[in-house]
Structure 1
Amino acid sequence: MQHIIDRFIKYITIDTQSDPENEAFPSTEKQWDLAKVLVEDLKNIGLHNVTLDDNCYIMATLPSNVAHKVPTIGFISHIDTSPDYSGTNVNPQIHKNYDGKDIVLNQEENIILSPDYFDDLLQYKGQTLITTDGSTLLGADDKAGITEIITAMEYLIQHPEINHGEIRIGFTPDEEVGKGAHLFDVDKFGAEWAYTMDGSQIGELEYENFNAAGAKVVITGKIVHPGYAKGKMINSMLIASEFIAALPKDEVPERTEGYEGFYHLHTLNGEVEKTELGYIIRDHDMELFNKRKAVFQKVADDLNSKLGKDLVHVEITDQYYNMKEKVVPVMHIVDIAEEAMKAVGVTPLIKAIRGGTDGSQLSYKGLPCPNIFAGGHNFHGRYEYVPAESMQKAVEVIVKIAEITATRELNK
């Protein structure tokens, strides 16, 4: 397991934070830093056809070691980390034999990872936890997935007695800003189906995700001297507060769960003359998703009607859709993953993703792609952590999926 820990730390200490404001591929130059390291590591463990294209997509092949025909399958993770929190100078902390008590991440600033607040910690008593030092995110999303895929391929190469078909590996940039699959070449990848290693806690197996849209609200005001403002000033920030208040107050991330959708205000920048709001809109059900977008637009229309001027402008852009529609017709790929988990002693937790992965977009591009746990918790912030044992189990699941796929075809 130390080998997995060392590899993971090597990757997370390379800053790969993506940038939602940059339309380039990749959106940050520093993603190339990890990409180049990964290319060398893939070559060093013995994978074939290792490529890094002009848009920072990595692909590689583990050739089949059986004589009979086996479907080519793939495993995919993303290089970038979230723009929501700093990924610079990640300083991981190793906590062996976790005792179930508070973990002090930063004593000076009193930053504590506590099971009183994050009760998932308690299921990992006695295990080795890797945490942040309280000043950055960790990067388990999704460098844990990258670590697991490479380690699993290395294990299969070192154990040729384990039967498997051809396996394709893909690492993508800019997943965290919704572009990870945009330029992914499905034909070049050449797999019949794939799995993203991008889930959270051990056992997660997901083939449903949100339908997703991003929304930008721009409100125009008018600034004049406040002493002479009556009937003249238009304060865009106050109009913005009306817009926010007009949306359903309980339909926000912190008050929803399961299949409940939400409106999430994630950025707010304002002055009297101009205020901009950044929202994401989410729902698993397509009909409800479309209704949410209509409600959002109606709030703007109603405000403009009330104001007697078109001061509130809304732009809504669909980002990705629920992969369920594309995976259900080939449910055997989920069954194989479930069987693999059970075979290595992991209890499958089959549930809908309250988010999205590259797999959702790839499924609509013709590559059905369920999502499997990578093991991390509390992504996108200073409280992120991952149990090393969960990463080890993820490696075992990947290996077993490859073996089961080859065995099923032989027994047909």
Structure 2
Amino acid sequence: MLKYQNKTKSLASRFIKYVQIDTQSDPESTTSPSTEKQKNLGKVLVKELLELGITDAHLDDFGYVYATIPSNTNKQVPVICFCSHMDTSPDCSGEFVKPIIHANYQGEDLVLPDDATVVLRMSEHKDLKNQIGNDIITASGTTLLGADNKAGLAEIMEAAAFLLENPDIRHGAIKILFTPDEEIGRGVDNVDLTKLGAEFAYTVDGETLGSLEDETFSADGATLVVNGVSSHPGFAKGKMQSAIKIISEVIHALPVDKLSPESTSGKEGFIHPVQIHGNVEQAQAGFILRDFDDELLAQHGITLETIVKDVVSNYPGTTYTLKIETQYRNMKKVLDQYPQVIEYARLAIERAGVKPLKQSIRGGTDGSRLSLMGLPCPNIFAGEHAFHGKQEWVAIQDMEKAVQTIVNIASIWEEKA
């Protein structure tokens, strides 16, 4: 097996190029993709794929990039796909990203130059202790970096180039899929699985070196609309029932010592308010409900509605609607039916000289929904850390191991066929 070596520094070059293209998605948008600027990166990726000799690479109207690395073996190998998303989180600006390479990190505090209050400290970022001697990439302090998930994009692109440059590495047909709008939960809304034509897939969107994730939260979204009673504030006594205050009471009544993101970990789920807006007459709040267990997730919806009913019952004349919608479901129930998908990834990580870390994600990936759509799809590490904020970082050496893991996965599927 040939080992990937980043001799020309092409991996970092790809990544730095991609993060400087603003691809922030917009949850308020009704278009697909939610922001047209995501296609700017899609066009760059397609151009690079075509230059590699991948003749079917293209960007569709919905902002998806599709491409195929042809099989170079006589074996009948299942078609596998590697997937990453192009958008960055709406939580923090992704415009005018200025990536900085901190070479040969030695454990020092990394003070980001454009805002000296943004500091990466080993005491706060535990995985930095494993990065001594490595090269850390951050943004400059005023934006996120975009390692989530442009590290994955760069790694898949680099692996594709390496496989095409080294035809002695035998593999079946490999599909590449780059998606928009993952950060706002719409990453596979318009994916064409028939056109993709893959039987198994891997998202490259994980954190710590060696991580392999076969389980995600199950997720619902809830929208609460409260219709209060408006009145002139000067003559409101005994009349006004403020929808803003009523919704605030609902949020205040949520548990704080449990069922809350700030008080849960591991396999514990939560109910989390994420937005509120409105006026005295009508106000609206959005919630996300999360749990690894679907029955417990349903119970969280019941808990939320019980709290709403109790609060609103104190306000005759006020009405409400609470709508709970499915977002995605735990992919483990699907992946357990295809143990080879996980086993080959575990073996690929080991062959890259890394200890596999099989774990669950307190979140979701495109793979969550792809798995439930019939394309079993666990998540492997990309090396990204502290995503969605100004302290986001990635180590080049971790990215190199991700490239080798991708190459190994492709090779192992051929080997085991």
TM score, norm. by length of structure 1? 0.96
- Residues 106 and 262 of structure 1: CA distance in aligned 2, closer, same or farther (over 3 Å): farther
Question: How many aligned positions are there?
Answer: 409
Counterpart-to-counterpart distance in 1, 2:204 and 2:352: 16
Counterpart-to-counterpart distance in 2, 1:337 and 1:129: 25
Equivalent in the alignment of 2:3: none
Is the 1:341–1:397 Cα contact (8 Å) retained in structure 2? yes
Out of 389, 404, 410, which is 1:396 matched to? 404
Counterpart-to-counterpart distance in 1, 2:55 and 2:349: 27
Counterpart-to-counterpart distance in 1, 2:142 and 2:200: 38
- Residues 184 and 107 of structure 1: CA distance in aligned 2, closer, same or farther (over 3 Å): closer
Out of 231, 236, 245, which is 2:238 matched to? 231
The alpha-carbon deviation at position 158 of structure 1 amounts to 0.8
The alpha-carbon deviation at position 233 of structure 1 amounts to 2.2
Is the 2:59–2:65 Cα contact (8 Å) retained in structure 1? yes
Counterpart-to-counterpart distance in 1, 2:339 and 2:373: 17
* Secondary structure in 2 matching 1:219: strand
- Residues 108 and 277 of structure 1: CA distance in aligned 2, closer, same or farther (over 3 Å): same
Equivalent in the alignment of 1:206: 213
Is the 1:79–1:143 Cα contact (8 Å) retained in structure 2? yes
Equivalent in the alignment of 1:351: 359
Out of 194, 197, 215, which is 2:201 matched to? 194
Is the 1:303–1:312 Cα contact (8 Å) retained in structure 2? no
Is the 1:98–1:124 Cα contact (8 Å) retained in structure 2? yes
Specify every segment of 5 or more residues in structure 1 that has no aligned partner in the other structure, as ranges. Answer: none
1:256 maps to amino acid: T
Q: Tell me the alpha carbon deviations over residues 118-172 of structure 1, each in whole angstroms, 9 at most, x when there is no partner.
A: 2222221221111111111111111111100010010011111111111010011
Equivalent in the alignment of 1:105: 112
Equivalent in the alignment of 1:88: 95
Q: Tell me the alpha carbon deviations over residues 341-374 of structure 1, each in whole angstroms, 9 at most, x when there is no partner.
A: 0111111111111111111111111110011111
Out of 278, 284, 292, which is 2:292 matched to? 284
Q: Does 1:132 align with 2:139?
A: yes
Counterpart-to-counterpart distance in 1, 2:272 and 2:102: 34
Q: Does 1:28 align with 2:35?
A: yes
The alpha-carbon deviation at position 109 of structure 1 amounts to 4.8
1:299 maps to amino acid: I
Is the 1:100–1:122 Cα contact (8 Å) retained in structure 2? yes
Q: Does 1:306 align with 2:314?
A: yes
Equivalent in the alignment of 2:370: 362
Is the 1:130–1:387 Cα contact (8 Å) retained in structure 2? yes
Counterpart-to-counterpart distance in 1, 2:254 and 2:117: 35
* Secondary structure in 2 matching 1:352: strand
The alpha-carbon deviation at position 307 of structure 1 amounts to 1.7
Counterpart-to-counterpart distance in 2, 1:383 and 1:268: 27
The alpha-carbon deviation at position 51 of structure 1 amounts to 2.1
Q: Does 1:335 align with 2:343?
A: yes
The alpha-carbon deviation at position 225 of structure 1 amounts to 4.2
Is the 1:300–1:313 Cα contact (8 Å) retained in structure 2? no
Equivalent in the alignment of 2:128: 121
**Percent of paired sites with the same residue:** 47
Q: Tell me the alpha carbon deviations over residues 210-269 of structure 1, each in whole angstroms, 9 at most, x when there is no partner.
A: 111111222333444444332122232321221012222132222211111111222233
- Residues 215 and 158 of structure 1: CA distance in aligned 2, closer, same or farther (over 3 Å): same
* Secondary structure in 1 matching 2:314: helix
Counterpart-to-counterpart distance in 2, 1:304 and 1:206: 41
Q: Tell me the alpha carbon deviations over residues 292-337 of structure 1, each in whole angstroms, 9 at most, x when there is no partner.
A: 1111122222222222234333222110111111111101110000
Equivalent in the alignment of 2:392: 384
Counterpart-to-counterpart distance in 2, 1:108 and 1:43: 39
Is the 1:93–1:133 Cα contact (8 Å) retained in structure 2? yes
Counterpart-to-counterpart distance in 2, 1:138 and 1:73: 29
The alpha-carbon deviation at position 107 of structure 1 amounts to 6.0
Counterpart-to-counterpart distance in 2, 1:106 and 1:213: 39
Equivalent in the alignment of 1:60: 67
Counterpart-to-counterpart distance in 1, 2:123 and 2:63: 41
TM score, norm. by length of structure 2? 0.95
RMSD: 1.5
1:361 maps to amino acid: R
4+ runs deviating over 6 angstroms: none
